[in-house]
Structure 1
Amino acid sequence: MTAPPTPSGGPPRPLPWLPPLVYGVVLAGGLYAGAVAPGPAELPVLGGFTACLALLAALDGGERRRYPRRTPVRPALVLLLARLALFAAAAGLDPSGVSRALFVLVPLTAYFAFGRRAAVALGVACVAVILAGNTLWVPEWYFRPGTVTDLLMSGLGLVLAVSTAAVAMGEQEARLRLEHTLEELRDSHTQLTEYAARVAQLSTARERNRLAREFHDGLGHHLTAIAIQLEKASAFQTTDTDVARQAVADARRSANRALDEVRQSVRAMRDEDEPFSLSTALADLVHHVDGGPPSVTLSLAGDEHGYRAEALTALYRAAQEGITNARRHADATRVELSAVYGDHEARLVVADDGRGFPADSSTRRSGFGLRAMRERLALLGGRVQVEAAAGRGTVLTVTVPRTAEPAAAPGQEAVR
């Protein structure tokens, strides 16, 4: 797994308080040993010892100011060598011997600058230097319990320093990963908020389109019938009052049916709608075709149970659109309406004997009603096909699956 990106300039320095603490303890120990030691000769030594620790503190302060986050490798190597020289000088001038604790900072700072392997290698090197110093300047040091104890404590201190550095670095990396994760969560939350707004907009647009289709397919059909009946009443009001009166009654009945469908749509939006029966709705549609041409016949086959209400409603709207087109545009005298409920799909066919239209003009004659029908059927995984020829009528075929299927890309069927 790759590490998360760190802030500009690298991660913050771990344990920034530890080196000053070690310098303070070493200084206190050295000054105390110098104070209890006899003779004024110790003053220059203590001065040099104090100067070494002051330089170390100044070196650390300058590094932090120059590199607030992480020191680059080359400057870090130069600073490490400078510290080693000052550690050695302080240890040589320290009358108490506490300055050996300064070497604990070597693997600690190396771990932060160069990594674990460099820290372990430098820790081993420090132990080797202490061991070599004892061998060169302390005769038979291995028989001196105090010297052996100092060597063991120095090795243990170096091990603890490496372990502490590892824990500090691990905690820092975990914190950085957490910050990175929180940043990703904030970005994800922002994206989800944007997506939710888009979904709300799309849902609103889809509902608006659905309502537009409902009004066109329902109210449009009945308003067309009302217009035809009123024209009929106007034409016969002086020559045949009975026909004119019947036409007005038929127009009134179409207006009532339009009002009923509006109420049905309102109930559907409130989830108060009753189960929809396509066979009943088609029979009622044919029965209230409002008289006059064209005459409409209906044939049904199969069982509509098991089909979704949305699919059956789409077929009903297709029947309304087909009959409306036959009356408004085709000048048809006869319309044959049939619905077949199969095991896998339902098919509705509206065939008229009207004037039709040339096949190459189907695209130019595309209207809102059939475009809306195609959109509705595509969402349901259905298909729309229109077969027409000039002077030979039109056949509208609509199919819907019993269960949802992926929507086919529309564009191959002819529509008028």
Structure 2
Amino acid sequence: MLLVGMLALGTWLSGAIEKRMIRHEGELFALYMDSVLSDQVQSLASGGLLSDAGMLALDKLLHGTMLGERIVAFKLWSRDGRVLYSTDLTQIGLRSEITPALAAAFRGETQSRMFALEDEQRRLQGAHGSELIEIYAPVRQPKTGLILTVAEIDQTTDILDQTVGAAQAQSWMAVIAAATLMYLLLAALIMPASNTLIAQKQQLQEKVSELTNLLAEKEQVHERVARAAGGTTARYERSLHRIAVDLHDGPVQGIALAAMRLETLADVCRACSAAIGAKSTVAEDFKRLQDALNSAQQDVRSLSKGLHLPNIEELSLGDVARRVVRDYKSSSGMDVELTINNVPEDGPLPVKITLFRLLQESLANGFRHGGAVKQHIVLGTSNNRLEVAVRDDGRGFDPQAAQTEGHLGLQGMRERVEVLGGTFYLWSAVGQGTVVRADIPLTSRDGA
């Protein structure tokens, strides 16, 4: 930028110097010609033509002198555009259109410009260079200052070129010196700041590298935690399955055997009339025991069935929700509205398990505790997370009181969602129903 600025400034200065030197040259030459020609053109004061003596004096001035060597062409103009005198004799007496420069000279303004010559013009005028200085200089009457004529002078640029070249060389030297000084000053000012910036940049790069490593380690830890959480969910369900099997094969069978044995004993003692206490017989007590055992057997079977997770590994997320709705309708007789919006076909097994248990528990709570008539499930996805919402029109409750009382169902739903890195939200109010919301990352790993 400094170099470009230096070149632009030097170029502008060179052009300005050249224009100024041309104007100065024109003014000096006009002043000289006015002082020299004023006596020779006095005959024009009476409105006549240039006298023979005046022409002869001009011929002597412009031929064989140092001034004549510099002048390539010379003319004297009248106000009406007629050539009064010319070094080219064929031009004398001709009339031409008054140019703006000629008009300005008759107003007393010296005009000067540099122009390039074509090859033919150089041959005709005998000029050696490729450029000439054209000057229009007013010539005045000494006493009155009245402009008698305008001299048009075309002169060579040899002396001017030397003067302009020297001035331009000096200007370039000044520009170069100023640019060098500015560069040194800027270097002195910027170097310490540059060193500071380099040191800060290096420190920043080190910090970025450290943060990158920390983020990579955090990502690895997060992946391991997610994998472990997925594995925990799967193992928890396997444990529940084993408990369900043990309940079915152990207590349920024992209760069934006891009930069958009591039924046999009840048949034997049905005819017994012995009373136990004041209001019941032995047969009646056997019947009550049998009914209690049958009820306990049904409860344990329901508990076993609830703990058992169906095979949902091959199901899509939408099909998991449909399976929950179907099982719930089969057991409760209640219809559930299900809305599925842009849910991917497949998902990690821990997510499927959590979705199944979350919907199962939410629907069961709304039916058993809330007395809900209408229940609605909405599934969707956003930012690679599964969004679940379950609404009902039940009696509702106070969530703070439920949290204080320690309801295991709500706590279990929250833990299942949060262990996979999701969020769980519960809203309810007395008489206004209940809303259960959860969003679960779909990047959960199955784990070991």
Q: TM-score, normalised by structure 1?
A: 0.36
Report which of the two has the higher share of strand. Answer: 2
Q: Which has the higher contact order (CA 8 A, sep 6+)?
A: 2
Report which of the two has the higher share of helix. Answer: 1
Greater Rg, structure 1 or structure 2? 2
